[in-house]
Chains A and B, each alone.
Chain A
Amino acid sequence: MEKKNLKKLIEELEFKCVTGVNLLDKEPKWAYVSDLLSDVMGKAQPQMIWVTSQIHKNIVAVASLIDLSAIVIVNERKPDENMLKLAEEEGVVVLTSDKPAFETAGMLYRDLAPQPPKGKRGVFKRT
């Protein structure tokens, strides 16, 4: 599969980049959707994209500590100013999506999946 960097992904999915514009050559690996910080801490893997509706500063620490490739804030939610400031300092990429979490995750799934889904409920393995 052709590897995609964040820049290409943002263009295709019409996300807006609000912090870390110079860090978009990172190649994201899959994504994780959750609004529970400990859930993300415990389960998300390095270089994943984190889809969330949380907008406060603490999500930056989580993304930075476990080396996520980007945070996508969904549903046109406006990130908190303090959060954006910290994200710039820590080198965390924050993106926004004007779609709700389900649609945003769906678009990411289609884009990051290694192959098109097979069958009605195609669940495919990460490669």
Chain B
Amino acid sequence: MQMQFDIQGGDFSAAGEASSEVKKALKQLNIQPQTLRRIAVALYEAEVNVVAHAYRGTMTVDISPARILVQLQDEGPGIDDIGKAMEEGFSTASDKVREMGFGAGMGLPNIKKNSDEMHLTSTPGTGTTLEIIVNF
């Protein structure tokens, strides 16, 4: 099964909608609750990252009997130092975003913890691509 969503940068009112849709679809497939939770956490964090940092992006979901593969591709400022971005507590989020309780520097670490594979590549000034795999 394939699903695709557009994500608008800066639109916090819609943040989480794509992740919720994917969770609902997976619920129909009788995925284990613990696995479903890991996917929901990883996807939500990834979706919020696009909203908080990029201009626009897409989430492409591919579900096979063995795993879910999610690719998030965005147009945005990109990440200068991926190693730094992966550190818990590091964030470049704006004050406005932080006041909402985002930008605690836990998003990428949460994605790593809750996925089986995570591939993050970025071209500063152009955008970022994140690939997440969670096995069922």
Contact = CB atoms under 8 A, between A and B. Distances in A.
Interface residues of A, number: 22
A59 B16 CA distance: 10
Interface stretch (A24-32, A39-47, A94-102, A115-123): A39-47
Interface in A47-99: 52, 54, 56-59, 61-62, 64-67, 82, 90
B15 A38 contact: no
B105 to A, nearest CB: 8
A35 B104 CA distance: 10
A41 B102 CA distance: 11
Interface string B77-97: 000000000000000000000
Interface of B: 12-13, 15-17, 19-20, 23, 33, 37, 40-41, 44-45, 48, 100-102, 104, 106-107, 109-110, 113-114
Interface of A: 35-39, 41-42, 46, 52, 54, 56-59, 61-62, 64-67, 82, 90
